Amino acid sequence: MLAAADEIVVIGYSMPPYDYDFRTLFVSSLIGNERRKRIVLKIVTKGTRHQKGALRSQLGRFVGSVEILGSDGLLDYLKRQGYVD
């Protein structure tokens, strides 16, 4: 439940601006979290520098910080973390 989260990790979903259902659910769930300005939102996704920057700026106003991890997707992220070879 996002209303009680301290950290949120989103894997493989770039949160496109046209996905209004997800964004509405995501933001409305965060609004109820009194600690939301301290939440770290980590997004593991592929995308251009522009796309990742847009995600960071769009979602940064709802949480404390946004980190874009694994710019080459989930497998790259897992390799960098040492979970797979």
pLDDT tens by residue, 23-48: 788 888 888 888 889 999 988 887 78
Position 14 pLDDT exceeds 80: no
Position 12 pLDDT exceeds 80: no
- Nearest-angstrom CA–CA distance, 20 and 40: 22
pTM for the predicted model, two decimal places: 0.73
Residue 75: CB atoms within 10 A of its CB come to 13
Place of tokens 């770039």: 14
For residue 81, the Cα-to-chain-centroid distance in whole angstroms is 17
- The alpha helices in 3-84, defined as continuous H runs, are 20-31, 49-60, 74-81
- Nearest-angstrom CA–CA distance, 50 and 53: 5
Task: Find the mean pLDDT for residues 56-72.
Answer: 84
Q: How many domains does the chain have?
A: 1
What percent of the chain shows pLDDT beyond 70? 89
Which domain does 32 fall in, by range? 2-81
Which DSSP state fits 28?
H
